[in-house]
Amino acid sequence: MIGTIINFAAVIVGSLLGNFLGARLSEKLRQTVISGLGLFTLVLGVQMFLNTKNALIVLGSVLIGALLGEWWQIEAGLEKLGAWLEKKFSRGEAGAKDQENFIKGFLTASLVFCIGPMAILGSIQDGLTGKFDLLAVKSTLDGFASLAFASSLGLGVAFSALPVLVYQGALTLMARQLQPLMSEAMIAEMTATGGVLLVGIAISGLLEIKKIRVGNFLPALVIAPLLVALLTWWGSVNGAH
């Protein structure tokens, strides 16, 4: 839960600074910081991938996960959910601009911070291994994003820290319950697969080199440990014979 608590605090601090600083921070500065975080995320993803003991498992997981994700249209579904929620809650009555901005700030920030591969991947890593480096990176990103949102939409952005705490905390606790069922090999290959997804996030969302529907690769995080379990079972069966 440490990573989620850090994320929670980062959103609140970023929102308060955004309200205080307003539009004093230039767009060029924000872009430079995001680019630096993108480069760091890219290197972190590569480092995670290097933990693999069998690159073919990672490749198979990514390919099968992509097929399932495209079939289920996960990325499109997340985008539609975000658009529907924003449309539903951003309606404001005449003369209620502040209230509308508050709701819009809360909703927009909540969607950005909760609906994304890094939130899921980081929370699972925190729950299974106790490492929160991914959520620390996400916290930095969310801190700057909340600063930018709050500078134009107000204090409603700060309250988006509550959904972050509940959502990521729940994922972390669920992953912790699954820990006894996960072998070291399963965790290693899932971590390596997550590294590939992290590289995708860096290339697509942060560095904006190429658009990648990273959300559609999320099933790979489930496929990786399943493949390890299947190969372990197959090896034990053949060894028995």
What's the pLDDT tens digit per position in 99-144? 666 776 776 677 678 866 788 889 998 998 888 888 998 999 899 8
Q: In Å, what is the CA distance from 238 to each residue of 96, 226, 228, 232?
A: 70, 18, 15, 10
Residue that has been written with the tokens 């801190």 in this structure: 143
Q: Are 202 and 39 in contact (CB under 8 A)?
A: yes
Q: Are 188 and 53 in contact (CB under 8 A)?
A: yes
Give the DSSP letter of residue 202: I
| Residue tagged 């440490």 (tokens) | 2
**Which pLDDT score is estimated for 94?**
40
> What span, in angstroms and rounded, lies between the C-alpha atoms of 58 and 223?
9
Higher pLDDT among residues 61 and 159, named by residue: 61
Higher-confidence residue: 110 or 10?
10
158: which residues sit within 8 A by CB, 6+ positions away?
Answer: 11, 12, 15, 16, 146, 150
Decide if 224 contacts 189 (C-beta within 8 A): yes
CA 167 – CA 88 distance, rounded (Å): 21
Residues 85-94: what's their mean pLDDT? 56
Q: What is the pLDDT of residue 240?
A: 57
pLDDT at site 184: 87
Tell whether the model's pLDDT for residue 227 goes beyond 70: yes
